[in-house]
Structure 1
């Protein structure tokens, strides 16, 4: 029997469940006037006047509970600064998860090091500490745990592993602005925390990045690398380290300063909506939200992720088909990565630019079962700006999923 007219999916010509839009970024005249003030000042670049950049860096460091913060042009560069400052050398191994954006691993290659992929936990989609331990060799120098979707990694376990093996920990917190683990802001726990301010991120200036640290030596080195190798107190045309111009502009700094004032309230809203949506979806057969209770004290839900089981939706509706129907119902969603990072051409082909990867490294032989399943069959993302909606919006998101299930079961 076919669904009734009122139950017809939007994908099939029916009315969408969600008709509201969720604009991002959120801004008002405060951001407009802040940028206009910089424009009128005529001091647009970082060397012209450091006041606005330093003011934001200091405010973000305080927010994270870190001693230092250094801005840069994007989150990829922030990872690269951290890696180089942490002392990796060509051929060193850096352990990374396979379920993350390419920059987590490609910056390792840029630093002439070898990414080693350790599988993720099926309950959180974060790197599994047991897989980290199994991946360590005498060439391992660092771990980059990614707080994926804003969910905190198991940082106690990761820091314990790092201490026992004398490894550096660089937190990739590109998704994790404002989130916390056991009361500590993410990014402030490892040796360095790296953040992105790209346009989709929970704190944004369109592009940009930042690193935070408590380590004096790492701070001074990253500060130099960010500023063409200059050192604080040195001459303008004296260059001590092989850095580049990775500075942000005054306009980005004032945008970020205003956006930071909104971040805590937005994070609380996303966290509360995530908890509520978990409750709503708990009894939906075939839908399993990623779990809480692993040490996170505040989840910023850059993504709200659930696992999809096609068997509960008639067995013939693929993840891609489900996401198409959910998007048609008006839920801002995405199917996520098509495959784990090690399947990217960069790693499968090992182009001439990957000269630091030894011949013994063969990514065609890498297989991370949980990450493969997350990419191909399970992982569905609801985007962060939608998590700034109301509880009524969360009700509609859950109803859209139930509507799809009723429709495919009735077909």
Structure 2
């Protein structure tokens, strides 16, 4: 059966990995900086940090924004569980926004209705690599003086108005480089920032709150003159993970091109079907086609039929408002309709 996911790994990695293993330099360093530069070149944004995991990346964003227990954030329940669990760790109040059932993306009109004086940020998930109504959500953020975080957990390489996600048009964008993403660093993530001060703050939070330019004195000893002013995490990416990321960035354009070509083939395959239609695209967006999304009149039947034909069809995620940990089980009409119809089909670089 053709799988829905498959980890990508470039050839001829082992000689370089072996050099790192015996170099004595295993932590973030030369390759970490080169990987960040490759990401900056790709997104067009110099303010980008690599991080050891997506969960760490989200926690760093929450700390950088100074979010505290009881603060409200607006998020979508139509997302990966990994996107929303960090809010629980910080004891934030999660306010779910409904989605457009034809796209699965956050509904701007519903977001507006949910903003209160306690709202501190909007987390705009781009489900399965399909981008949401970016202009509309950003305008809401500007109108209410709220940071909009583009949650691109599955959307690296997706484009809006011809620009890659993570460009300096996003307040903040978060990417996952976990095994089934592109690029895949086995585990890892990245965060991009529009605001230079937030970027500099996040850089310290990523590294236990340390300002490395002041941390040690002329003798290499830890300096008492260097205060630690912010909370922090040990979230630097290792040199091996960074090396793998660099190698994958060399191939990223070809891999995404293949996925977009596969999507065109899927368009042709289902063109005659009345029961299955492609997921609607929001205007001016170009997905990375991590998966190929469809809406089905009978999701269970369609899943069974695709699997019989050798395609591992799946719903991918389940709506997070069903989980008690979030303390918000509000039923949302758009969410329910979308989840009852959405199905993902294999569209990755491995599909012939």
Judge same fold: TM > 0.5, yes or no.
Answer: yes
Counterpart of 2:55 (choices 58, 64, 76) is: 76
The answer (yes or no) to whether the contact 1:92–1:140 under 8 Å persists in 2 is yes
Structure 1 or 2: more helix by fraction: 1
Q: CA deviation at 1:328?
A: 3.5
The answer (yes or no) to whether the contact 1:152–1:186 under 8 Å persists in 2 is no
Counterpart of 1:167 (choices 134, 137, 146) is: 146
The answer (yes or no) to whether the contact 2:4–2:346 under 8 Å persists in 1 is no
Q: What SS does structure 2 have at the residue aligned with 1:145?
A: strand
**Counterpart mapping for 1:302-341 below 5 A:** 302-310=290-298, 319-338=299-318, 340-341=319-320
The answer (yes or no) to whether the contact 2:83–2:153 under 8 Å persists in 1 is no
Give yes or no for the alignment of 1:38 onto 2:38.
Answer: no
Quick one: structure 1 residues 143 and 217, their matched pair in 2 at CA, closer, same or farther if it must change by over 3 Å?
Answer: same
Counterpart of 2:208 (choices 215, 228, 241) is: 228
| Per-residue deviation, residues 112-131 of structure 1 (Å, max 9, x unmatched) | 32111101112221111111
Q: CA deviation at 1:174?
A: 1.0
Q: CA deviation at 1:148?
A: 1.2
Q: CA deviation at 1:322?
A: 3.5
Aligned to 2:283: 294
Structure 1: state its 5+ residue gaps. Answer: 1-18, 311-318, 351-362, 391-411
Quick one: structure 1 residues 277 and 384, their matched pair in 2 at CA, closer, same or farther if it must change by over 3 Å?
Answer: closer
The answer (yes or no) to whether the contact 2:8–2:184 under 8 Å persists in 1 is no
The answer (yes or no) to whether the contact 1:307–1:379 under 8 Å persists in 2 is yes
Q: What SS does structure 1 have at the residue aligned with 2:300?
A: helix
Q: CA deviation at 1:22?
A: 8.4
Quick one: structure 1 residues 163 and 309, their matched pair in 2 at CA, closer, same or farther if it must change by over 3 Å?
Answer: same
Q: CA deviation at 1:384?
A: 4.6
**Counterpart mapping for 1:253-292 below 5 A:** 253-292=242-281
Q: What SS does structure 1 have at the residue aligned with 2:101?
A: coil
Aligned to 1:129: 108
| Per-residue deviation, residues 73-102 of structure 1 (Å, max 9, x unmatched) | 211221221122123232211111110012
Separation in structure 1 between the aligned mates of residue 34 and residue 83 of structure 2, nearest angstrom: 28
Q: CA deviation at 1:55?
A: 0.8
Q: CA deviation at 1:265?
A: 1.5
Moved more, 30-39 or 133-142: 30-39
Separation in structure 1 between the aligned mates of residue 131 and residue 237 of structure 2, nearest angstrom: 28
What root-mean-square deviation, in Å, do the aligned CA atoms of Structure 1 and Structure 2 show? 2.0
**Counterpart mapping for 1:243-262 below 5 A:** 243-262=232-251
Q: CA deviation at 1:321?
A: 4.7
The answer (yes or no) to whether the contact 2:5–2:180 under 8 Å persists in 1 is no
The answer (yes or no) to whether the contact 1:336–1:379 under 8 Å persists in 2 is no
Q: What SS does structure 1 have at the residue aligned with 2:317?
A: coil
Quick one: structure 1 residues 160 and 22, their matched pair in 2 at CA, closer, same or farther if it must change by over 3 Å?
Answer: closer
The higher-RCO structure (CA 8 Å, 6+ apart) is 2
The count of residues paired between Structure 1 and Structure 2 equals 342
Aligned to 2:219: none
Give yes or no for the alignment of 1:158 onto 2:147.
Answer: no
Separation in structure 1 between the aligned mates of residue 284 and residue 33 of structure 2, nearest angstrom: 32
Separation in structure 1 between the aligned mates of residue 106 and residue 162 of structure 2, nearest angstrom: 20
Structure 2: state its 5+ residue gaps. Answer: 217-221
| Per-residue deviation, residues 200-236 of structure 1 (Å, max 9, x unmatched) | 1121111111101132111111111110110141215
Q: What SS does structure 2 have at the residue aligned with 1:202?
A: coil
